[in-house]
Amino acid sequence: MGKELVLRTLKHEETEGIPWVPFAGIHAGKLKNYTAEEILKDGDKLFESLMEVKKMYNPDGMPIVFDLQIEAEIFGCELKWAKENPPSVRSHPFAGEKKIPCNCLIPTAKSGRIPMVLDVMRRVKAEIGGEVALYGLICGPFTLASHLRGSDIFTDMVKDKQFVKELVGYCSEVACRMADLYLEAGMDVIAVVDPLVSQASPKSIESMMLESFKAVFDYIRSKGALSSFFVCGNATNQLEVMCKTYPDSISVDENVNLLQAKTITDKYNIAIGGNIPLTTTMLYGTQQDNMKYVLDLMDSLTHKNLIISPGCDMPYSTPIQNTVAAAQAVKRPEDARKLIENYTAVVDDIDVELADYQKMDKVLLELFLLDPEQCAACTYMLNSVKDAFDEFKEMAEYRVYKYTVREDIARTGKMGITNLPTMTIDGDIKWVSIIPSKNELIEEVKKYFKKK
């Protein structure tokens, strides 16, 4: 039974197969022609969509809601809604005001959209909870701290480490309360989703966040439940310190080499999940691409402590047949192998013209992003340029490329970019998955402008 496969994997037992956990968040709405906004606000539409996920993708485990803004909204962050993406945070109630929020603001069962989420959780539990491991996703403490504080959090990390530690501690209390609510509603696994962790150095995580994150996973464990630590972006360097928070599993996206990652997580006997590429394979690839990717992944890794899943929340318009193909490869690998015999992946060869930096009067900053509407790290990288732009607009211009656009995918490949988000200056790779400070950015622009 699928659910047991997930639970036993998270308990680090030997299993007869590899669990398949599709992260069909907003994509679930696509299956019933509901927009992302509709399923994140309407419980009936969400429930209907999740039943369709179960029917179409035969998951061993599945999330109920993939929306890291539920908590932020309750704290007063304004959200910008979209048809094909989760909402993004547009305002930060504690930006410009360095304080720890009051405990009375910690969400309860009646706050914001939580009643809707809990209701759907209970309904899904009743309907399929015996067959499928249900994941309750909560916003990780560091990402929540950044929602509250905005980009000031990065300055805080340099100038007031104790404050960051306390704020992340507070957000961890929020995470524990959310875990309580979701566990009471029947969730089997609590996933702490913290994309911004990939932006912090391991040393920063160790000094300002490790205790708090560990407390959350210990708390979940004390409730008799299982946990997962989700991260986006190139978190290779952060994996070791993430393991020291002792979740039952870690989930990574395509920026991380899963083989390399598993050598680290195996040391700690922590399960690892991932990491089918969301755009190149799931969204734009073929069924065969998806089968081949999954089979190659399974063939390259030891199977104990392994979960196969998309790298993160699947794009809204992921073709159903691609996800079905991935599911088939996990569930019936030998059949899938036969289907892709003699198949060679076709590389998209759209011709894109790169900028001629030498001929340009101004310095060119190019931002290679996943989707600034959806990816927290991408949002902060873009904002770091926008916030500083007035200081160097006479010297530089900037362009944004999104990995959801075919031409931009081709450009990313041609530029030799291997991780997102990345910022280049006049074609030189400068920052990879790291947000530059304002001063740093301005100084670099000036240096390049001097060379013109």
List residues near other proteins by CB under 8 A: 99-104, 165-166, 169, 172-173, 176, 211-212, 214-216, 218-219, 221-223
Closest CA to 154 of 341, 429, 384, 398: 384
Bridge-based pairing state of the strands 249-251 and 306-310: unpaired
| CB contact at 8 A, 326 and 56 | no
Task: Give whichever of 222 and 344 is closer to other proteins, judged by the CB atom.
Answer: 222
* Residue the block writes with tokens 């450009």: 411
**Distance from C-alpha of 399 to C-alpha of 232, rounded to nearest angstrom:** 23
CB of 99 to other proteins, least distance (A): 6
CB of 234 to other proteins, least distance (A): 28
Task: Give whichever of 12 and 406 is closer to other proteins, judged by the CB atom.
Answer: 12
Tokens read off for 117: 């989420």
CB of 201 to other proteins, least distance (A): 21
Task: Give whichever of 169 and 413 is closer to other proteins, judged by the CB atom.
Answer: 169
Cis peptide bond N-terminal to 372, omega within 30 = no
Beta partners for residue 250, in sequence order: 229, 272
- Provide the 8-state DSSP code for 356: -
CB of 133 to other proteins, least distance (A): 22
Task: Give whichever of 63 and 140 is closer to other proteins, judged by the CB atom.
Answer: 140
Bridge-based pairing state of the strands 249-251 and 271-276: parallel
Segments of 65-179 assigned E as strands: 79-80, 88-89, 133-139
CB of 231 to other proteins, least distance (A): 20
Tokens read off for 208: 């300002």
CB of 214 to other proteins, least distance (A): 5
- Provide the 8-state DSSP code for 25: S
DSSP three-state, residue 429:
strand
CB of 219 to other proteins, least distance (A): 5
Bridge-based pairing state of the strands 306-310 and 428-432: unpaired
CB of 227 to other proteins, least distance (A): 12
Task: Give whichever of 104 and 347 is closer to other proteins, judged by the CB atom.
Answer: 104
Task: Give whichever of 105 and 429 is closer to other proteins, judged by the CB atom.
Answer: 105
Task: Give whichever of 27 and 165 is closer to other proteins, judged by the CB atom.
Answer: 165
Beta partners for residue 227, in sequence order: 190
Task: Give whichever of 183 and 191 is closer to other proteins, judged by the CB atom.
Answer: 183
Listing DSSP states for 244-312 in one string gives TT--SEEE--TTS-HHHHHHHHHHTT-EEEEEE-IIIIIITS-HHHHHHHHHHHHHHS-STTEEEEESS
CB of 320 to other proteins, least distance (A): 42
Tokens read off for 230: 């989700």
**Distance from C-alpha of 377 to C-alpha of 421, rounded to nearest angstrom:** 7
Task: Give whichever of 66 and 170 is closer to other proteins, judged by the CB atom.
Answer: 170
Tokens read off for 18: 């590899």
CB of 181 to other proteins, least distance (A): 13
Length of the chain: 452
Task: Give whichever of 166 and 391 is closer to other proteins, judged by the CB atom.
Answer: 166
Alpha-carbon separation of residue 57 from 31, 194, 249, 299, 370 (angstroms): 11, 26, 22, 22, 25
